[in-house]
Structure 1
Amino acid sequence: MSPTLVSRIDASVLKAIAPTPPSKKAATQRAIITAFGEMLPELLTLIECTTPLRIAHFLAQVAHESDGFCTLEEYASGAAYEGRADLGNVRPGDGVRYKGRGPIQLTGRTNYRAFTVWMRKIDPTCPDFEAKPELVATSPWAGWAAAFFWERNNINTRAADLDDLIKATKIVNGGRNGLEDRRRYLAKAKTAIATLTADQLSGVQLFPVLRRGMEGEAIEQLQRALAAAGYYHLSIDGDFGPGTEGALRSYQGDTGLTVDGIAGQKAFASLQDFWPKEV
């Protein structure tokens, strides 16, 4: 994927994904989105998170872990991690001291130490995060911590490239915690990214708005795309009937688009990975 896409992943994309926060969290959310958004092109390029799928999975995970970009520090005390040798928490108080921080909730003494080593290859003057773990909840280190965790755990190839949300969630969280919330964020991220790349779709911009009752080659292409996405199971006949409309509505609902059964530019953009190659 061209670097052009990465350069467009910024605060505006985060805003499109983020939920409306409670009023008491609104200012914090704005600050996090602004600071993190400014860093994203550099971070994503560094960790080779540059394809639509990789970016979408990264954004889905950080959106959930940061409570919709409302916090850079775990709400819980961290006491639950006390004595967790697998996290490197071998000293009294390590659980609280090395609680989850950053948009992906970096947790445990071992991860804080490894983050310092990784970060000093980029910026030799960066702090010692094992000694000052609280800094991981501040900008710019919070953003770098998310990039570190993603790269260190090879999430691009282990999960994102496979479009495997469950595997990505297990790597990030150790289980399936918040899976449905992450799934919603992933759908929103895919839609936001697809909208950005809509102008790169070959031929799609030439299609009219498609709706029930229409016929022709454009409808056939839409049916093929919906079939490839797993939503259309009838014959490819170029007739926009109830079956095509139902498949489109289901797809729209699952991907965060307006459910109106009408295929416009956003629907085409969202379906880009499934669009017939000849288009």
Structure 2
Amino acid sequence: MINRKFFFDEVRWSLFGGSLTQAQVDGMSGVLDEWEENHRNDDDRWLAYMLATIFHEVAKRMQPIHEFGSDAYFFRMYDKDGERPAVAKALGNTHKGDGVKFHGRGFVQLTGRDNYKRMSKLLGVDLIKNPDDALKLDVATSILFIGMRDGVFTGHKLADYFNPMEEDWIEARRIINRLDRAEMIAGYGRKFYASISYTTG
């Protein structure tokens, strides 16, 4: 079992400036629970990089969030009748209103009808009918794990960058996005990794 006291004591100072809210603790606890229940034999660097990704994507809140922006912004950015119809098409936003309905949500900002549909099938949850379910902690956590472990988001997966032969905290950003803020997120990942310890006995 992960030593939760050690973990939270470490990240409180190394990443959160000396204090943690209950919401931050709850969010990280949900990820740790999923890891211990279903992935405890996987590489701990995977867990660390997922936590680092959340830390960056939700601006340290450690809770699933709506993408920052208004409905007008989502319409402009993602709707077929907005300012970027090619982007809307690539996201599968073929119905009027899809840009707003399927804006980014969760830990990793799941965006676009096609991505909501894909995750609905993988999770057995109807995110097309109820896209706000992507904001539920358990659903957001499942999306995070499936997307990053299996390469569902971009075709790149955790095992590509963290395995017995390789450790690449910077290139791992490709699992989510291009290399935006890759070095910064790599630093977060190393700090989370240093905080993972196991109880004995």
- TM above 0.5, one fold? yes
Alignment partner for residue 2 of structure 2, among 5, 8, 29? 8
Q: TM-score, normalised by structure 1?
A: 0.54
Q: Which residue of 1 aligns with 2:16?
A: 19
Q: Does 1:57 align with 2:59?
A: no
Q: Which residue of 1 aligns with 2:180?
A: 177
Q: 1:59 to 1:70 in 2, by over 3 A?
A: closer
Q: Which residue of 2 aligns with 1:103?
A: 107
Is the Cα contact below 8 Å between 1:9 and 1:40 reproduced in 2?
no
Q: 1:70 to 1:156 in 2, by over 3 A?
A: closer
Q: 1:54 to 1:12 in 2, by over 3 A?
A: same
Aligned mates of 2:159, 2:139 — CA distance in 1: 24
After TM superposition, the runs of 4+ consecutive aligned structure 1 residues lying more than 3 A away are 9-15, 43-49
Q: Does 1:76 align with 2:74?
A: no
Q: Which letter maps to 1:81?
A: Y
Identity %, equivalent residues:
23
**1:229-240 equivalence runs, <5 A:** none
Structure with the greater alpha carbon radius of gyration: 1
5+ long unaligned stretches in structure 2: 80-84
Post-superposition offset of 1:18: 4.1
Q: Which letter maps to 1:8?
A: I
Q: Which letter maps to 2:132?
A: E
Q: TM-score, normalised by structure 2?
A: 0.72
5+ long unaligned stretches in structure 1: 1-6, 121-126, 200-279
RMSD of aligned Cα (Å): 3.2
Alignment partner for residue 136 of structure 1, among 128, 134, 137? 134
Residue deviations 1:130-149, cap 9 Å, x none? 11111111222121121121
Is the Cα contact below 8 Å between 2:117 and 2:127 reproduced in 1?
yes
Aligned mates of 2:120, 2:5 — CA distance in 1: 26
Q: Which residue of 1 aligns with 2:82?
A: none
